[in-house]
Structure 1
């Protein structure tokens, strides 16, 4: 099965991102917008895993979760990979919450080596992917829209769960199924 480890986003956050996507889509750029139910923070892409690996991954996530604390996160400004001059991915940053997310991703990255999952060659970048650019059509207008954006990020939320997802690919786009949810040890509530 194809899998990844991520952080789910609350309904209100996904709804706010859907409104943002709707606004940006009026630029007419050739972007495949991520379906709101699929929006999340990827901490580690695992690729194809076996059932024994899955069980080991779940065990390691429980250990990491027990040793971690929940934290507050908030969406920030938009960005693009690799850059705005040649965008392939449109994303929204996270701040505050970026440092604990990066630390959590580093612990997961380290633990997955023991399961036979290759290390990521690129450094982890905290973000929520909202769209993938298919061609250069309309990018100038999209870039102008983003620069003039009056979007206000929604309220902060509490990150309290790490999720192991299965990613099922189909012609209509990917669908994600929750394989396991791991609570983060101690709680902190968003204010």
Structure 2
């Protein structure tokens, strides 16, 4: 039996309504912005900690620690209202929607991050930049047309939602949508 490459990550779950609003928005953009792959609407999320290929014992430990860490955290509201890119300005690798700064999101992320480190995971230490990946790999003939400033201001109608759940997802590269929720932690 071949071992299919799979990986795990903790993320903030977006409500179904929010996913569908974002998806409608992306469908309008697809004509103008040729990216190789647009993310399936069901797969939108905000990554909190990327674990990679994870041994079961460490996963179990991390779930236990996250349960403890998040037991006092309440749900909070977030606003999606900007777009941005990672990678080269003229040929971005990732096209994303950004959320407004929210200290409680940072606190939840810090809790998840420390629970995972405690469970023995080595995590990337770059600064947390909460975002929702919408598309990957620019494939336009022309360079990517929008400046950072235009992207920042281009979200016409902000999308507000309540952050209620942190989810442990497993990736299935051969499926669409490709993220499966393995465990869910509700914010009270």
Please classify the TM superposition score into its range, dividing by the shorter chain length: 0.7 to 0.9
Deviation at 1:133, TM superposition (A): 1.8
Q: 1:50 to 1:21 in 2, by over 3 A?
A: same
Q: 1:10 to 1:138 in 2, by over 3 A?
A: farther
Q: Could you list the per-position Cα deviations for residues 133-182 of structure 1 after superposition, in whole angstroms to 9, with x for gaps in the alignment?
A: 243534434x289588463123x221121111111112x56611111111
Mapped partners of 2:132, 2:123: distance in 1: 21
2:48 corresponds to which of 37, 43, 48: 43
1:29 corresponds to which of 34, 38, 41: 34
Deviation at 1:6, TM superposition (A): 0.6
2:71 corresponds to which of 37, 41, 66: 66
RMSD between superposed Cα atoms in Å: 2.3
Q: 1:151 to 1:84 in 2, by over 3 A?
A: farther
SS at match of 1:101: helix
- The corresponding residue for 2:179 is 176
Unaligned segments of structure 1, at least 5 residues: 186-191
Count residues with an aligned counterpart: 181
Deviation at 1:14, TM superposition (A): 0.9
TM-score in terms of structure 1 length: 0.83
TM-score in terms of structure 2 length: 0.85
Deviation at 1:44, TM superposition (A): 0.6
Q: 1:49 to 1:9 in 2, by over 3 A?
A: same
Does the 8 A contact of 1:20 with 1:151 survive in 2? no
